[in-house]
């Protein structure tokens, strides 16, 4: 799958160094042309096998900026080919790196119903109970 960064990104750069697979591009390099950071879904592994949670979302100071998106699997090949949201890379022979070309790991405990633009990875902090 992937996680996706939305337009509430404040380009603070915190997530970029945090990603274990170098899936994040800054606002200058964002292949969609938007002035915000960008997760390459063809690289993102949702931190599976490396961390318990997506590290980009864990460090992001902008609550709601990073949300779940669909698994990067062949089932969602057409979805990820939508260039309005994503701009997939190509390999050396020019083949589009869509899910049909190569699937990526994703968190199977996050159901499809819990995925989609707007579904938060990072929950807002729970209200702390007052002490004393």
Binding stretches for ligand SF4 (CB under 6 A):
3, 5, 9-15, 18-19, 21, 23-24, 37, 39, 44-47, 54-56, 59-60, 62, 65-66
74 and 29 Cβ atoms separated by less than 8 Å: no
104 and 1 Cβ atoms separated by less than 8 Å: yes
Q: How far apart are CA 86 and CA 40, in angstroms?
A: 8
Q: How far apart are CA 74 and CA 130, in angstroms?
A: 48
Q: At 17, phi and psi to the nearest 5?
A: -75, -15
**DSSP symbol at 125:** P
Q: How far is the CB of 117 from ligand SF4 (least distance, A)?
A: 14
Nearer to ligand SF4, 125 or 132 (CB): 125
Q: How far is the CB of 66 from ligand SF4 (least distance, A)?
A: 6
SS3 call for 59: helix
Nearer to ligand SF4, 96 or 110 (CB): 110
Nearer to ligand SF4, 2 or 129 (CB): 2
Q: How far is the CB of 70 from ligand SF4 (least distance, A)?
A: 13
Nearer to ligand SF4, 46 or 99 (CB): 46
């Amino acid at each position: 799958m992937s996680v996706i960064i939305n337009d509430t990104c404040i380009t603070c750069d915190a997530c970029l160094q945090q990603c274990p697979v170098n899936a994040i591009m800054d606002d200058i390099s964002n292949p969609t042309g938007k002035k915000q950071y960008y997760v390459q879904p063809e690289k993102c592994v949702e931190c599976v096998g490396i961390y318990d949670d997506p590290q980009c979302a864990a460090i992001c100071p902008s609550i709601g900026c990073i949300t779940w998106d669909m698994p990067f699997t062949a089932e969602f090949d057409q979805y990820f080919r939508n260039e309005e949201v994503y701009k997939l890379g190509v390999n050396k022979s020019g083949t589009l790196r869509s899910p049909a070309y190569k699937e990526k790991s994703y968190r199977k405990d996050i159901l499809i119903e819990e995925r989609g633009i707007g579904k938060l990875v990072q929950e807002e902090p729970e209200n702390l109970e007052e002490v004393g």
